[in-house]
Amino acid sequence: MNKIKIGIIGGTGYTGVELLRLLASHRNAELVCITSRAEEGIHVASLFPSLRNHYDLSFEDPSKADLTKCDVIFCATPNGIAMKHSPNLIDAGVKVIDLSADFRISDVDIWEAWYGMEHACPERLSDAVYGLPEVNREAIRKATLIANPGCYPTAIQLGFLPLVENGLIDASSLIADAKSGVSGAGRKAAIGTALCEVGDSFKAYSVSGHRHLPEIKQGLQLLTKQVVDLVFTPHLLPMIRGIHATLYGKLVGKGLEMSESELRQIFVERFDSEPFVDIMPLGSHPDTRSVRGSNHCRISIHRPQGGDTVVILAVEDNLVKGAAGQAIQNMNLMCGLDETSGINNVALIP
Amino acid sequence: MNKIKIGIIGGTGYTGVELLRLLASHRNAELVCITSRAEEGIHVASLFPSLRNHYDLSFEDPSKADLTKCDVIFCATPNGIAMKHSPNLIDAGVKVIDLSADFRISDVDIWEAWYGMEHACPERLSDAVYGLPEVNREAIRKATLIANPGCYPTAIQLGFLPLVENGLIDASSLIADAKSGVSGAGRKAAIGTALCEVGDSFKAYSVSGHRHLPEIKQGLQLLTKQVVDLVFTPHLLPMIRGIHATLYGKLVGKGLEMSESELRQIFVERFDSEPFVDIMPLGSHPDTRSVRGSNHCRISIHRPQGGDTVVILAVEDNLVKGAAGQAIQNMNLMCGLDETSGINNVALIP
Amino acid sequence: MNKIKIGIIGGTGYTGVELLRLLASHRNAELVCITSRAEEGIHVASLFPSLRNHYDLSFEDPSKADLTKCDVIFCATPNGIAMKHSPNLIDAGVKVIDLSADFRISDVDIWEAWYGMEHACPERLSDAVYGLPEVNREAIRKATLIANPGCYPTAIQLGFLPLVENGLIDASSLIADAKSGVSGAGRKAAIGTALCEVGDSFKAYSVSGHRHLPEIKQGLQLLTKQVVDLVFTPHLLPMIRGIHATLYGKLVGKGLEMSESELRQIFVERFDSEPFVDIMPLGSHPDTRSVRGSNHCRISIHRPQGGDTVVILAVEDNLVKGAAGQAIQNMNLMCGLDETSGINNVALIP
Amino acid sequence: MNKIKIGIIGGTGYTGVELLRLLASHRNAELVCITSRAEEGIHVASLFPSLRNHYDLSFEDPSKADLTKCDVIFCATPNGIAMKHSPNLIDAGVKVIDLSADFRISDVDIWEAWYGMEHACPERLSDAVYGLPEVNREAIRKATLIANPGCYPTAIQLGFLPLVENGLIDASSLIADAKSGVSGAGRKAAIGTALCEVGDSFKAYSVSGHRHLPEIKQGLQLLTKQVVDLVFTPHLLPMIRGIHATLYGKLVGKGLEMSESELRQIFVERFDSEPFVDIMPLGSHPDTRSVRGSNHCRISIHRPQGGDTVVILAVEDNLVKGAAGQAIQNMNLMCGLDETSGINNVALIP
């Protein structure tokens, strides 16, 4: 079988180097082009010595690179870039997987309000498929443009999904207390992500409103006729990778009558055939390291003290299931490959 | 003025060495005795080189030490020890400050259920004053036995207190999503607190029920006639010191009509004269390092998206305001000293 | 091709779980047995949730397990165990790779002096091949018993090797200032490796003499007729994985006449065909994360200020090239497989 | 007694906030002015919430601030700034303590070569006293301009000093393998100090030549008639504070005849009356946390295997004894105060 020709736009960030790490062991994919305005001409292994002997490729200027020779393009760019490149690429027959937020929100007004810029191609929003395979697998297979979900939204939607779908919790009073490793903030020169500022410390941020809020609400709203509302509190962990979402829902209706074990069973059944969603045994507390470098989302379900609040714990690696791994999962689906190809490695413990 | 003679029972743990650190710069206190069964005869500075040149004292066997020569005894022992020592000491005229949980719960049945042992002196429980100065200052001044609050309960009670006292939130559906540095687990040989197990990772624990739950509920229940109920989810942070409590309350009654700024004002007024509770400016996100090594609890108040949930962020150093610092604050009150004496240092940043 | 049947004795430590991680993606190997006295009957994925869905195997009691059905056995046990199991296994036709120190020192008196116990099978020491492929590749291919090198000795020998072989430095005054992540101390309940003790701190240890010293000296002595002597100073890094060896040698003879670039060229030529030794560009400072989870050893060569001291920087992942990865590299060689099979993944950055 | 009036130029970096932390508990000092071009008008506690309730002062523009009202000015500025401000301040009768490198090197050509700029006031270099109290105490008492030593040079000079002074090691072949926490790189927006780049990793840097090299050589050269030469290898630790210097010297002459204990005794005697140099017991390995936040330098002496290399381990907090604490120690000496005033706190453990 011929290898799929891959291009990466904007490969100098953490999602870019994670794509490179995972694609290096993907048997059916071959990187043929990677771009970066700032690092043009630099060998990828000069920037990331971990890639030495794995790639022989240098960054190209995006305006000069011939990206249409690719079968699939990953946009690992800051918000606002992919929406400029994608229309031409798609029209040229290239499949595009956007890891930024440009195509995640279907309502352009909401997108523009939260992202503070004008959308470059609102007419393409309806073509974009939200790349959460556990919800949209069949649509993803046929898609030409994927809006790869945000890191927080992936964990939070997967954690709430079976309860919201089945009307077991009050969708209008959800709470997501989420914690992320610093790599979620991207690779950039900034005091706010310096080791001396965020190491050995912990804090919340953007409590008044984080850009992933409308994405989460949109995703959950599609699952229920109830009005969805959410308090979403992001926090910054003194570590590199990993998201832990602690989710709170008020049990209602049948949910109130279900034991912890029965609630867990709802999850087991919903995700039974999912290769990357792992429902932990009763009483578990998944740790983020159990998914470090892997594409799994591990979830456990609690009903503390038998009260009317269900507590869901969901962990993922923000750079894998929360970004590059899920993007490759989407590529595998779009290209008719084994869904787990290249992303079925074991997490790095310790 | 004569210095107060201090004794410490069980000085080899993290609260013990933190007492030693703080007392070394306390002008009105003098350590005269420190005990440890395991380390009898060992110089304190042999165990903790940070204390070299600050103390010239060795650990004594608790059964041989003459503790009645002390004015104040701190019990920095595991649960179940202080309740055996305290009655005799108090009867001999010594003031006792217990940093363990032995005297924190006034209902002996609840205590025995959560702590899994028989209480040695239930008749003394009513003599114990719960050592949260922001609630019990006057009682503390006159007390002979202090139940020094737990680390989580301190941050969580201070964070909910003004809202519960004023009936602004529904006390029956509180959520406390709390995160602690590993020092909260104490100083002991255990795989579960090894750097390779909890470093660079994050997880929840004891979601089904943590021993601090009844203590928090008891404390908040004293402030209101509503029935208090709480979901309390502790998590373990990959760092040494610091607690961050993210608290969620459903606004009710007048609370629903109050802006974020007005809600904050309730806190400002309640803690106006408190030396160690710091209400942050609107929109703040206190980080735990801002209280690293200091006795402050910093609190900020949010009402995200103007919704009906108030979000309180409260940080403290679990070993200072959550343990040794608060114990010294109580000692200062009991002994008629300046309340801030010895514990007014600046946090260590970076 | 039939898969090689693998057994692991003592699979509950960090080298054990690392073997499991790597073997999970090895196409020609199949784990058929894993033992642990303490965890008998426990599923491997119960102990290490990262392995969920990758293995369906429980720990067996080593005295009950039929290990002779295996083609290759890895001993990932504490020192002193492998020497008891190995003779019978080898006699039964099983290839044994010992990740402990039992067969690393050919002089039994030296071994017994440093390891403080009597050797159980000194007559087998001469059968053991020291498993450093860069030195002993051909012997490894034919071996039935491999003494897998220690973590420090791997990095230090590789770093000094070309200089000692070529007589470019004074072998009698070597200095190895080496730093290791905490996983090098193994997985066990101990105060000394608790996050609160070794996190955010750094120290040397065993400066008076570390067990890896005789192993390093023995290895280097085989390369030269000069008398080898070494000062070896191990340090503990506040991190999980990774060894950084900073090596100092006094240039002599031709070495004194060589530029930094010429010295580097000696390394390039020596390791030209080595799949896992990477000589970095001039002026480089390899970081340990560049080999996190990978089997590479990256080396750079410096001659600061043009003085007569050469400084070699060598990094490896102590659990991979310093333990489990190198063990699999040895297995690949012993079994006639591609030497890089199962261990050619990219390091995890960030 | 009147308090000494303190000014700080450039108070927004880590040495600036550390000066603020320490001065807050100094009984004889009062901060009256702090400047920052970038943060003019911002309250110090807005930038550093740890200072809330400790200071009521905002940053002033350095060109507008009246610094001559101060008794002592600390320059906590990047290199190249203090040399512009100092002459006028000194001429106006203000004592200046420069924490940057501007006055550390007495040979202006060497300074200009290493720092890459022209010196603004070479005629003042001879007035500057190198502020290492253990060497220059009497000169410091009388000085008007202090060149506060660099962080690495403090630990390395103190560690080698007794051996070089007494001619016990070959001063021409010293090796200093030094490791620093990231705060040594200062507070700035830079990828190179981001948590995701330097966390959980370790590397050497500037092996070809670091600016502290000429400072160390100059300091040691003043102690001996031998020619001093040094290989200095700095490394970056994945932690915030702390320097660990591992020092290697070849014993010569009488040194060769001395036992580890006798060598240690040389240190004990040399530093007998020093309040901030602590010679550890035989066999010790000081950890950096034992000086976290304190002004001590702890040193231990080893002669491994009885060989001819002595190994010195020296730890300090780079921001305290390596910067702000030593600066205050110098201020105390210059102003006739108790040398330990304000800097005698216990290190923060854990």
**Which residue of chain C has the CA closest to A55?**
C346
Chains that touch A (3 or more CB pairs under 8 A): B, C, D
Q: How many CB atoms lie within 10 A of CB C67?
A: 20
**Mean per-residue pLDDT over chain D, rounded:** 97
Q: Hey, what are B199's tokens?
A: 């470093």
State the residue for tokens 């996050």: C195
Contact C196 B190 (CB under 8 A): no
Report the residue from B187, B200, B286 with minimal CB separation from D49.
B286
pLDDT tens readout for residues D170-199: 999 999 999 999 999 999 999 999 999 999
**Under DSSP, is residue B160 helix (H, G, I), strand (E, B) or coil?**
helix
Q: Which of residues 43-102 of D touch B (CB under 8 A)?
A: 48-54
What integer is the mean pLDDT of D207-224?
98
Tell me which chain C residues have a C-beta less than 8 angstroms from the C-beta of A349: 17, 21, 48, 50
Asked if A237 has any chain B CB less than 8 Å from its own CB, the reply is yes
Give residue-wise pLDDT tens across range C248-276: 999 999 999 999 999 999 999 999 999 99
In this structure, CATH architecture of domain C152-318: 2-Layer Sandwich (3.30)
Please tell me what DSSP assigns to residue A194: B
Contacts of B182 in chain C (CB under 8 A): 194-196, 199
∠ CA D173-D177-D183, nearest 5°, is 140
Q: Does pLDDT of C54 surpass 90?
A: yes
Q: What is the mean pLDDT of chain A?
A: 97
pLDDT of residue D20: 98
Does B172 touch chain A if contact means CB atoms closer than 8 Å? no
pLDDT grade for A186, boundaries at 50, 70 and 90: very high
pLDDT above 90 (res C72): yes
Residue B33 annotated as catalytic:
no
Most A-contacting residue of B182, B231, B290, B311 (CB-CB within 10 A), to test interface = B231
Task: Give the nearest partner residue to A205 out of B207, B232, B285, using CB atoms.
Answer: B285
Q: Report, in angstroms and rounded to the nearest whole number, the Rg of chain B calculated over CA atoms.
A: 20
- B240/D54 touch (CB, cutoff 8 Å), yes or no: no
Q: What pLDDT is stored for residue A203 in this prediction?
A: 98
Give how far B341 is from chain C: nearest CA, Å.
27
pLDDT score, position D2:
86
Q: pLDDT value at position C327?
A: 98
- Report, as an integer, the average pLDDT of A132-151: 98
Query: Which own/partner contact pairs does C134-140 have at CB distance under 8 Å and 24+ positions apart?
Result: C134/C158, C134/C161, C134/C271, C134/C274, C134/C277, C135/C161, C135/C219, C135/C222, C135/C223, C137/C333, C140/C330, C140/C333, C140/C334
Nearest to residue A75, comparing CAs of A3, A145, A2, A175? A145
Determine, for residues C248 and D209 on separate chains, whether the beta-carbon distance falls below 8 Å.
no
What is the percent of chain B where pLDDT is above 70?
100
Residue of chain B nearest C191, judged by CA positions: B189
pLDDT at B237: 98
Strands (E), chain C: 4-9, 29-35, 72-75, 95-98, 129-130, 145-147, 174-180, 203-204, 230-236, 243-250, 277-279, 297-302, 309-316
Contact assignment for C50 to A241 by CB distance below 8 Å: no
CB contact under 8 A, A209 and B238: no
Q: Which residues pair with D251 in a beta bridge?
A: D169
Chain C residues lying within 8 Å of D213, measured CB to CB: 305
Count of CB contacts below 8 A, A vs D?
62
Mean pLDDT value across residues C128-136:
98
Residue of chain D nearest A201, judged by CA positions: D240
Judge contact between A11 and A99, C-beta under 8 A: no
Let me know if C37 is exposed, middle or buried by CB neighbors in 10 A (0-12, 13-18, 19+).
middle
Residue D1 confidence (pLDDT) above 80: no
Which residues does residue B249 pair with via DSSP β-bridges, in sequence order? Answer: B310
What strands, in cross-sheet order, belong to the sheet with A203-204? A203-204, A230-236, A174-180, A243-250, A309-316, A297-302, A277-279
D200: contact with A, CB 8 A cutoff: yes
The whole-chain average pLDDT of chain B stands at: 97
Question: B202 to chain A nearest CA, in Å?
Answer: 5
Cβ of C239 and D201 within 8 Å? yes
How, if at all, do strands C145-147 and A145-147 pair?
A: unpaired
Peptide bond preceding A350 in cis form (omega within 30 of 0): yes
Confidence (pLDDT) at C1: 66
Assign B2 a pLDDT band (cuts: 50, 70, 90).
confident
- The 10s digit of each residue's pLDDT in D12-66 is 999 999 999 999 999 999 999 999 999 999 999 999 999 999 999 999 999 999 9
- Predicted pLDDT at B1: 66
- CB atoms D302 and C240 under 8 Å: no
- Phi first, then psi: give them for residue D252, nearest 5 degrees: -135, 165
Residue A176 has pLDDT above 80, yes or no: yes
The answer to whether the CB atoms of C196 and D350 lie below 8 A apart is yes
User: What are the tens digits of pLDDT across the range B300-323?
Assistant: 999 999 999 999 999 999 999 999
Could you say which of B188, B189, B193 has the minimum Cβ distance to residue C195? B193
Query: Strand B309-316 to strand B277-279: parallel, antiparallel, or no bridges (unpaired)?
Result: unpaired
- Nearest Cα of chain C lies from the Cα of A350 at a distance, in angstroms, of 7
Tell me, which fold does domain D4-127 have in CATH?
A: Rossmann fold (3.40.50)
The tally of CA atoms less than 13 A away on the side-chain side of residue B131 is: 34
Domain locations in chain C as residue ranges: 4-127, 152-318
Nearest Cα residue in chain D from A183: D196
Residue D342: pLDDT over 90: yes
**What pLDDT score does A1 carry?**
66
User: Above 80 in pLDDT, residue D168?
Assistant: yes
Q: What's the per-residue H, E or C state across chain D?
A: CCCEEEEEECCCCHHHHHHHHHHCCCCCEEEEEEECCCCCCCEHHHHCHHHCCCCCCECECCCCCCHHHCCEEEECCCCCCHHHHHHHHHHCCCEEEECCCCCCCCCHHHHHHHHCCCCCCHHHHHHCEECCHHHHHHHHHHCCEEECCCHHHHHHHHHHHHHHHCCCECHHHEEEEEEECHHHHCCCCCHHHEHHHHCCCCEECCCCCCCHHHHHHHHHHCCCCCCCCEEEEEEECCCCCCEEEEEEEEECCHHHHCCHHHHHHHHHHHCCCCCCEEECCCCCCCCHHHHCCCCCEEEEEECHHHCCEEEEEEEECCCHHHHHHHHHHHHHHHCCCCCCCCCCCCCCCC
- Locate C98 and state its tokens: 């010992």
Q: How far apart are CA D197 and CA A195, in angstroms?
A: 9
Q: Which of D70, D151, D196, D297 is catalytic?
A: D151
Residue A289 sits at the chain D interface (C-beta within 8 Å): no
- Write down the pLDDT at residue C15: 97
Average pLDDT of the residues in B85-101? 97
- So which residues of A are the catalytic ones? 151
pLDDT exceeds 90 at position A335: yes
Distance of CA D323 to the CA centre of its chain: 4
C137-170 pLDDT, tens digit each: 999 999 999 999 999 999 999 999 999 999 999 9
Average pLDDT over residues A84-102: 97
Q: Answer whether residue C134 shows pLDDT above 70.
A: yes
Q: Is the separation of the CB atoms in B25 and B345 below 8 Å?
A: yes
A180 touches chain D (CB under 8 A): no
| Bond from prior residue into D350 cis (ω within 30 degrees of 0) | yes
Please tell me which chains touch B, using 3 or more CB pairs under 8 Å as the contact test. A, C, D
Q: Is the ipTM of this complex over 0.95?
A: yes
Interchain contact A23–C (C-beta under 8 A): no
B26 touches chain D (CB under 8 A): no
D274 at interface of C, judged by CB pairs closer than 8 A: no
Task: Compute CA distances D148 → B170, D159, D226, D297, whole Å.
Answer: 58, 18, 25, 16
| Among the partner residues C51, C278, C319, nearest to A53 by beta-carbon distance | C278
Q: Does C193 touch chain B (CB under 8 A)?
A: yes
Q: Provide the shortest C-alpha distance from residue D348 to chain A (in Å).
A: 13
Q: C240–B196: do the CB atoms touch at under 8 Å?
A: yes
Interface contact flag, A207 B231, Cβ < 8 Å: no
DSSP symbol at A307: -
- CB of C234 within 8 Å of a chain D CB? The answer is no
pLDDT at C181: 98
The residues of C annotated as belonging to the active site are 151
Which single residue is written with the structure tokens 């919201």?
A164
Amino acid letter for position C182 = V
- Distance of CA C62 to CAs C16, C34, C72, C327, Å? 14, 8, 15, 20
Q: Say if residue B336's pLDDT is above 80.
A: yes
Could you tell me which residues are beta bridge partners of residue B129?
Answer: B146
Say what the pLDDT of residue D322 is.
98
Cross-chain CB nearest to A287 (options B201, B239, B315): B201
Q: Which of B151, B196, B297, B335 is catalytic?
A: B151
> Is residue C5 less than 8 Å (CB to CB) from chain D?
no
Confidence grade of residue C2 (pLDDT, cut at 50, 70, 90): confident
**Cβ pairs A/C, distance under 8 A:** 91
User: In this complex, do A208 and B302 lie within 8 Å of one another by their Cβ atoms?
Assistant: yes
Instruction: Report helix angle B325-334 to B14-23, nearest 10.
Output: 50
The chains found to touch C (3+ Cβ pairs under 8 angstroms) are A, B, D
Nearest to D195 among A188, A189, A199 (CB): A199
User: Residue range C166-193: average pLDDT?
Assistant: 97
Chain A residues near residue D189 by CB distance under 8 angstroms: 189-191, 194
What are the phi and psi torsion angles at D281 (to 5°)?
-60, 160
Contacts of B196 in chain A (CB under 8 A): 350
Q: Is A135 on the interface with B (CB under 8 A)?
A: no
Cis peptide upstream of residue D87 (ω within 30 degrees of 0): no
